Amino acid sequence: MSESLDFLVHLLDLETIEVNIFRGTQPNEERQRVFGGQVAAQALMAAGRTVDQGRVHSLHSYFLRPGDPKVPILYEVDRIRDGKSFTTRRVVAIQHGRAIYNMQASFHTEEDGLDHQIAAPDVEQPETIPTLFERIKAASNGQDIDEWFKRQHPIDQRFIGELPWSPTRPREPTKQVWIKADGTLADDQLLHACVVTYASDMSLFDAILGPHDIRWDDGTFMGASLDHCMWFHRQVKADEWLLYDMDSPIAHGARGVARGFLFNRSGELCVSMVQEGLTRIVTPRQG
């Protein structure tokens, strides 16, 4: 397990403060706000810690305020329902006495039912694609590379086609990337679901930006996740390659919607995601 993945597992190992109350630590990084995937993953872990049976099958959540990356986050779990087949939990993430995020998660005991799915895209395999750092270095032409790309990261990302940070030009509102944890995780389905939740917020917004000559760092817009929903269809292994297939059907009124599907190497659809993001223009575009 890489050092960065080991630290992510540490972030997900929440401290129990009281019954139904947990505390999550923060990474020692320079950030303006807490990464949304982190708070979502920690909230799901808090919910899962209070569930005796069943695995998570869906979560629906809202990002309410930017999180402070310098202080821990408290997670308060409300045990909404414990049924024979379904268990429901509500989680509120709190900093400085205010809610920054809330989640409703549902857990389901496995049972048989109808079965169908869409086909997985036919794409090149991850072993044939250079790492993110290798691609950034090759495109840098000897210029300095941002420190973020030099750092070790818990999720290995192998982008298919152009990188999100490529020179700006309009393209289709789609994005595909292979992802997996950078190491081997313990055989704990809740942990794997939380790591996938963390990773799901890393690239989804990029599909919204595709048709627009905008980059995260060009200073022309303000982007942030507003909500995040996930459906876990099958047990998922976060330490094996997963194809993240994303698209954006619409951006309008300073908001955009992105959809994502995670397929395993066998072509099975494991997880579906939908996210709405803020896409506010802050600088008038010239020309």
Q: Active-site positions?
A: 201, 225, 275
Sign of the dihedral through C-alpha 252, 59, 118, 206: positive
Q: How far is CA 119 from CA 128, 230, 236, 263, 264, in A?
A: 22, 19, 17, 9, 11
**What are the residue ranges of helices labelled H in the chain?**
3-12, 36-48, 132-139, 147-150, 189-200, 206-209
Burial of 223 (0-12, 13-18, 19+ CB in 10 A): middle
Task: Judge whether 107 and 55 are in contact, CB under 8 Å.
Answer: yes
Q: What are phi and psi of 69, to 5 degrees?
A: -75, -5
Q: How far is residue 212's CA from residue 58's CA, in Å, rounded to a whole number?
A: 31
Cα–Cα nearest to 248, from 259, 234, 236, 235: 259
CA dihedral of residues 244, 245, 250, 252 (deg, nearest 10): 30
Q: What are phi and psi of 135, to 5 degrees?
A: -70, -40
Task: Judge whether 168 and 15 are in contact, CB under 8 Å.
Answer: no
Place of tokens 């409300």: 78
